[in-house]
Amino acid sequence: MEKKRILFVSQEIYPFLPKSEISHNARKLPQGTQESGKEIRVFTPRFGSINERRHQLHEVIRLSGMNIIIDDHDHPLIIKVASIPTARIQVYFIDNDEYFKRKNNVTEDDGADYKDNDERSMFFCRGVLETVKKLGWKPDVIHCHGWMSSLMPLYIKKMYNKDPHFADTKVVYSIYEDQQGFATEWDARFSEKLAFEGFDESVTSLVKNPTLEAITNAAVAFSDGVVQSSESIAPELQGVFDKATCLKLNYLPEENLTKGLSEFFDKVIEEAVLI
């Protein structure tokens, strides 16, 4: 039987960035999923705080060189790669000088959110999908971690749904307590930027006021599965999770998480086959 393919897309991954709930899960879950017999790929942004020399990142020329248009502006896509030797995992990094070559990851020095975090999320998600196509690797499930990946369900279900490469791909979105970099609303023109990309009103109407709750609600609305990945999450996000009509996985302690998620991925895939 052919191995199931799981694409992990995370805002941060340890040890390239400090340990957090998201970065820890994004480090451990791909390894555990791989050890359970599934095939995996891992993508994350190449934030400026990542030490390329220490972690031995290098550019993959054959995957780089594409331009991605965001809000009618061209942005070069650069792909880098590094390994986690102890886990036999290769990590792909989405890079662009304008969006990611900053000393801070998601906030200014004073803690204020970067004003272009919406565009950074758009570029990241599209960069992942275009690179996966170039790799010729068709994921059965994309598992998203952190708000930087929150637009992935929208792209898969509304923009890439007619692309044979992603026609059968399912999306699982994890909701975390840690939402650093999303303390305020995204750019007021965010829904216009999505409309420019070709999204219809079924999407843009959900994010007219691009709050964290609205973006999370949109992500879940277009996901095949949603996971509560923190034991406690903000009430408004708990409300999004509770009202979700897709498959749901409640919070699991770390010792049960890898097995529980692997089974959840199988369920999401099987549910799609039954439908």
| Predicted local distance difference test score (pLDDT) of residue 275 | 38
Which DSSP category does 158 fall into? I
Per-residue pLDDT tens digits for 206-256: 999 999 999 999 999 999 999 999 999 999 999 999 999 999 999 999 999
Does 2.40.50.100 match the CATH number of domain 5-274? no
Mean predicted lDDT score pLDDT of the chain:
95
- Would you say 152 and 128 are in contact if contact means Cβ atoms under 8 Å apart? yes
Q: How many CB atoms lie within 10 A of CB 204?
A: 18
| Predicted local distance difference test score (pLDDT) of residue 2 | 86
- Would you say 27 and 13 are in contact if contact means Cβ atoms under 8 Å apart? yes
Q: Which helix (H) or strand (E) holds 270?
A: helix 254-274
Read off the pTM. 0.97
Which pair of structure tokens corresponds to residue 251? 């919070």
> Between helices 235-243 and 212-221, what is the axis angle to 10°?
20
Cα 14 from Cα 50, distance rounded (Å): 10
**Average pLDDT of span 29-46:** 96
Q: To the nearest whole percent, how much of the chain has pLDDT over 70?
A: 98
Altogether, the residues listed in the chain come to a count of 275
Instruction: Sheet with 39-45: list strands edge to edge.
Output: 58-59, 78-84, 89-95, 39-45, 5-10, 141-145, 170-175, 225-228, 247-249
Phi, then psi, of 6 in degrees rounded to 5: -115, 125
Q: For the chain, what is the largest distance between any 2 Cα atoms, rounded to a whole number of angstroms? A: 53
| Predicted local distance difference test score (pLDDT) of residue 272 | 57
| Predicted local distance difference test score (pLDDT) of residue 222 | 97
184 residue type, one letter: T
